[in-house]
Amino acid sequence: MIPITFSPDVETARASGTPIVALESTIITHGMPWPRNVETARRVEAEVRANGATPATIAVLAGRLHVGLSEDELESLGQARDVAKLSRADFAACLARGGNGATTVAATMIAARLAGVEVFATGGIGGVHRGAETSFDISADLHELAQTPVTVVAAGAKAILDLPKTLEVLETLGVPVIALGQDELPAFWSRSSGLKAPLRMDDPAQIAAAHRMRASMGLPGGQLVTNPIPAADEIASDVLAPSIRQALREAEERGIAAKAVTPFLLQRIFELTEGRSLEANIALVLNNARLAARIAVELGRMPA
């Protein structure tokens, strides 16, 4: 038996068949500094509600999988220091030993599937790191997209990654990568990456229909929807590039590896851009929450 607790809101939504959008918690614990992390998590939930769906923020608290967090749970998670960053490999172990953990994209997809939730909003997925040809650092998020049937809305893969290699791996794994409303793959903090997105769709209904079609065909895995950050909030890639280069150099010098890489880079880029990267990150997550809710509403109108 999986120890699972649904929040009252999520329980009600499940009973009435209201659309639900899953939200991850690693972005809260490892992706943004307190108190902006908690404030953002609340705003993201409000954005999902304003667009007709119920938010379900996912985390492991004292060995229970929580689908939907209370105000207090969200606040204490946002302030906690020793929370594990959970992915596919360590999710079950954390539950089994009664631990606390924040879910990455991979772990949130697993939880969403267990809870019957088809759509999930995040900031940016993990991908193939620069230098992966020697470090072998490829996020488990990519493999999860290949096997778990959840549509993930992100603003692209983070620009700290090797985006061409990330696209290649997604293609190999058979993951549909859809750009919303433009031909180019967005690059998290900026709208353009210089890379063509494999697929383009212009409205949430098309994305929902493709999700259902994959299920009808018995294809495992989900879809990656890349939603460009709003133009008013983006940081042009050439403006950001020096900060990314410096953060990457420091990570290498200090021997940062494995799970620590992404949180380290995000924190350093936040410092090097004097907080600008965080403002953009917040704007893009809100934008993704909005789109994810619309996709969930469309799915709710379609036969299962």
Positions in the binding site for ligand PSU (CB under 6 A): 24, 26-27, 30-31, 104-105, 122-124, 126, 139-141, 259, 262, 266, 281
β-strand pairing of 54-61 with 64-67: antiparallel
Determine which one of 158, 234, 259, 298 is catalytic. 158
Instruction: Give the containing element (helix H, strand E) for 292.
Output: helix 276-301
Stretch that binds Mn ion, among 49-57, 96-104, 137-145, 201-209 (CB under 5 A): 137-145
Closer residue to ligand PSU, CB minimum distance, 51 or 277: 277
Instruction: Indicate if 158 belongs to the active site.
Output: yes
Residue-by-residue DSSP string for 139-158: -HHHHHHHHS--EEEESSB-
Closer residue to ligand PSU, CB minimum distance, 6 or 270: 270
Contact criterion met (CB below 8 Å) for 140 and 89: yes
Q: How far is the CB of 188 from ligand PSU (least distance, A)?
A: 7
Q: How far is the CB of 186 from Mn ion (least distance, A)?
A: 21
144 contact, one of Mn ion, ligand PSU, none, CB 5-8 Å limit per kind: none
β-strand pairing of 84-86 with 199-201: unpaired
Q: How far is the CB of 60 from ligand PSU (least distance, A)?
A: 14
Phi, psi of 4 (to 5 degrees): -125, 135
Q: How far is the CB of 261 from Mn ion (least distance, A)?
A: 6
Q: Where are the alpha helices (DSSP H) in 51-157?
A: 71-79, 88-96, 105-115, 132-135, 140-147
Q: Looking at this protein, which amino acid is placed at residue 73?
A: E
Q: Does 137 bind Mn ion (CB under 5 A)?
A: yes
Residue number of the CB atom closest to ligand PSU: 123
Interface mask toward Mn ion for 78-117; x: CB under 5 A: ----------------------------------------
Helices (runs of H) and strands (runs of E) counted in the chain: 13, 11
105 contact, one of ligand PSU, Mn ion, none, CB 5-8 Å limit per kind: ligand PSU
Q: How many CB atoms lie within 10 A of CB 48?
A: 28
Contact criterion met (CB below 8 Å) for 144 and 126: no
Q: How far is the CB of 142 from ligand PSU (least distance, A)?
A: 9
Contact criterion met (CB below 8 Å) for 162 and 134: no
Q: Does 144 bind Mn ion (CB under 5 A)?
A: no
C-alpha–C-alpha distance, residues 65 and 22, integer Å: 13
Q: Does 141 bind Mn ion (CB under 5 A)?
A: no
268 contact, one of Mn ion, ligand PSU, none, CB 5-8 Å limit per kind: none
Binding site for Mn ion (CB under 5 A): 137
Catalytic residue numbers, as ranges = 24, 158
